[in-house]
Structure 1
Amino acid sequence: MSVRIAVIADDFTGGLFVASNLEKLGIPVFYVCDTAVLHEAADGEVLVIATRLRFMPPARAVAALDGLTTMLDEIGVEHIFYKYCSTFDSTDEGNIGPCGDLLIGKYGQRRLVFGPGYPDLHTYVHEGYMFYKDRLISESIKRSDPITPMNDPDMARVLQRQTAETVGLLPHRVLHRGVEFARGYVDDQQGKGVRYFLMDCVDNDDVATGATIFRHDHITTGADALAIELISQWTSEDAGTRRRTPSPVARAEGGEVVLVGSCSGVTLRQRDHFAQDNPMLDIDICEADEDILMARALAWADEKLGAGQPIGFSVAGDVASVADAQAKFGIMGAARKAEAILAGIAKGLGGRGVRKFVVSGGETSGAIVEALGIQSMQVLPFDELGAGSCISRDARRISLFLKPGKIGAEDVFSAALEKMRAP
């Protein structure tokens, strides 16, 4: 096996965004959910490893990342990209800084780039300040995120609170003057003791210039835009990575379900739209323990599955119900209970012959894929639905659409299922 490039994604939907865009470009991807199958990657494929690192406590995340990178070292990977959310999604107790500290220390790099932002999804960084859909991140829907409220729009300042390394800015006003000028600026800042570079991301030209500056580094970090650009540059200079036309896929046959874990306003509107025409069971996680709620949900499913239409389950609630759950179980406790309930339901439905799963929520997606025992997936190219379409590589051929909570049209659940039915 000869694999030059690996992406470690800190959640499942983020990994799919990178993988589906690479597949659209004709760059072959092996998408891994379980490191036990790393050895199955074919020569020239880009490894994309989906993890659940995003909300792990720093010490646990660092230990997990250390183990993963050691595995990649053992198979001779030349470039490792650590991928996090385009909106950074990290508080003062977050793990992006500590993970950076591990990587720069383990590999002895003199510098490390941090590249949040994704212009194609209206997420920008200018002078270190993040904007989402033309609003400061601290004034956007992300300010009320139930797990990682983004109250400080200055990403360099957020990162600096997570690390003892000196964080500097690689601003748009430098990047737009071209590669050589920006490279000289980086060298000058390194001479002044800066090791971490928070890169502006005003447009795709910023991304391309930054990628060119850092493309020879063994370790890079950032969001989707920087990952895709770097990998495009790496593969264009490597004759061993062959561009290809995506292979046709064998569609899944079986029941259909929508599982809603995200509490974003976007997802709640998508849930309500789906529920207009399909049975949807809303689950109050405060009402009983996990086993009871899962048993009730599966009993309800047994009554509905024979009707020949999709069914749905939601643990998503409004602001008041989320606050009640967090008060009872804690912020992460509420999230983990909700994920466990949906994962248990998914596992039960898989045993009942359901083979088409639409899931909303990055952490929820990871929990459900793990519960279904999926080790690797064939990722479909980015299309009109965006990223998220994939099929398990095992004999069950489970078809999934995994989406982050904050994106997608109101009819995305039904549209994803319709796509799964297409010949």
Structure 2
Amino acid sequence: MLIGVIADDFTGASDIANTLAKGHEDSAGLRVVQYLGIPDRPADSGVEAGVVSLKSRSTPVAEAVRESLAALDWLLAQGCRQIVFKYCSTFDSTPEGNIGPVAQALAERLGASGVVVCPAFPTMGRTIYQGHLFVNDRLLSESGMQDHPLTPMTDPDIRRWLSHQVPGPVGLVPAPVVRQGADAIRQALADSDATLVVVDAIDDCDLMRIGRAVAGARLVTGGSGIALGLARNFPAAGRFGAATARTNDAPGAILAGSCSGMTRRQIEAHGRDHPVLEIDVEAVMQDRLGVDEIAAFLLDRPDRAPLAFSSGHPGQVAAMQARYGREAVAGRLDALFGDVARRLVASGVGRLVVAGGETSGAVVSALDLGALEIGPEIAPGVPVLTSAEGLALALKSGNFGDEDFFIRALDMMRGKA
């Protein structure tokens, strides 16, 4: 194994796995496997990049650090030459969050300094300039992410955000230095007195420059975009070829827990031609709605791409959190989606689309799948995933995909898109 990735959620893991598997321009894609949790056995010899999916984005710092170091130990045991700590391209965290502590703990274990911090993903409109994160033409704090139910992002300055989480300085390699090329970036990282250094990236060319600059670096951190330029640093990479997804005609279903604006638009668009069930969150919290009703709705419509969602507008989400507590609502919905997914698969559903990082983590944890092979790309950042048992999955971060994403994903799993 050449590259080992530690991802802080399951959709982010499939996102960066997709980037590594498809390659970029003149660099071949790698043979990538996404592991759901830390494996208890060695990787197959043909795996060139292993992505360990954790559900640590919203967990306490000590727990996130412990899990991430355990994942690091497993990846190093597989012979990985470079480690990537993958977090969201919108840097989902809080001032008390764990991105900084995890990155520092990994750096300390690996003896690394001048470690790149670059959540940029220009294809999806996430860019960094002067250390500030933008979503398209908006600062992160004005993009809608300030209303995230678990990790409200109220400050676009990644240096300042990290300074709440870690002691000591946080460095910056600004865009003019990045545009000078890999040697200038490498020198700026070496000259920094900070363990963590935010690096500007405005387009894919910047990410390729950063990729060349970190050739030989033990640790890199970022969003999935940071992986664009990594595979080409390993001349023998791509010799096994990317895996191709199996297809099937089994019944399909969609579960959506993301509250992002794009997911809500996708739900609205899907509902024009397909059956949609809005989950009454208050009824769930009061034990008046559960697995039986939701699973029955989905299973009774196997050929119509049925969807069940809990995705609410920011005001609705805030009201439920105020009434029942943020963690209580999130925990109950995660458990519900996991139980529904188990019921669906046990009843013959073989194609499953899940929207939302926390929801995806709950679903794949409940299904106990072990590992997933990376197949064709449905939309930027979202591949078809296939389990050893033949279950086809798509795990979508909230804001990813076009409005027709749900039906497109189910069709691709059947080999019809």
Q: TM-score, normalised by structure 1?
A: 0.91
Kindly provide the CA deviation profile for residues 241-274 of structure 1, in whole angstroms up to 9, marking residues without a partner as x. 3345544443234221110110112111111222
* Deviation string, structure 1 residues 9-57 (Cα, Å, up to 9, x no partner): 1111111122122222231112211433652422352111111111111
1:305 Cα deviation after fit? 3.7
What's the CA shift string for 1:272-306, capped at 9, x where partnerless?
A: 2222222222112221446952222234445x246
> Which deviates more from structure 2 when the two are superposed, residues 54-63 or residues 288-297?
288-297
Corresponding letter in the other structure for 1:164: P
Instruction: Return the alpha-carbon distance in structure 2 between the equivalents of residues 270 and 259 of structure 1.
Output: 12
Structure 1 stretches of at least 4 aligned residues deviating more than 4 Å after TM superposition:
289-292, 383-386
| Alpha-carbon contact 2:34-2:372 (below 8 Å) kept | yes
8 Å CA contact retained: 1:34, 1:375: yes
Change over 3 Å in CA distance of 1:243–1:329 after alignment to 2: farther
Q: Which residue of 2 aligns with 1:255?
A: 251
Relative to 1, partners in 2 of residues 1:23 and 1:288: Cα closer, same or farther, differing over 3 Å? closer
Distance 2:355 2:321 in 1: 20
2:26 is matched with none
Return the offset for 1:141. Answer: 1.8
The match for 2:413 is 420
AA aligned to 2:179 is H
Q: 1:22-421 counterparts in 2 under 5 A?
A: 22-25=20-23, 26-36=29-39, 38-189=41-192, 193-230=193-230, 232-235=231-234, 237=235, 239=236, 241-289=237-285, 292-301=289-298, 304-305=300-301, 308-383=303-378, 387-394=382-389, 397-421=390-414
Query: What are the ranges of 5 or more consecutive residues in structure 1 without an aligned counterpart?
Result: none
Q: Distance in 2 between matches of 1:258 and 1:177?
A: 46
Measure, in 1, the Cα distance between the counterparts of 2:16 and 2:284: 38
Q: How far apart, in 2, do the equivalents of 1:211 and 1:422 lie?
A: 33
Whole-Å Cα distance in 2 between the matches of residues 188 and 288 of structure 1? 54
Secondary structure of the corresponding residue to residue 128 of structure 2:
strand
User: Post-superposition shift, 1:83?
Assistant: 0.5
Aligned identity (percent) is: 32
Shift in CA distance, 177/247, structure 1 to aligned 2, threshold 3 Å: closer
For this pair of structures, how many residues does the alignment match?
A: 410
| Residue identity in the other structure for 1:222 | G
CA contact (8 A) 1:22 1:381 kept: no
Contact map agreement 2:115 2:189 (CA 8 A) in 1: no
Pairwise CA distance, 1:313: 0.9
Equivalent residue letter for 2:290 = L
Structure 2 runs not aligned, ≥5 long: 24-28
- Give me the whole-angstrom Cα distance separating, in 1, the residues matched to 2:278 and 2:342: 18
Distance 2:93 2:356 in 1: 16
Report if the CA contact (8 A) 1:84-1:222 is conserved: yes
Superposition deviation, residue 228 in structure 1? 2.8
Aligned 8 A contact 2:104 2:196 in 1: no
CA root-mean-square deviation:
2.0
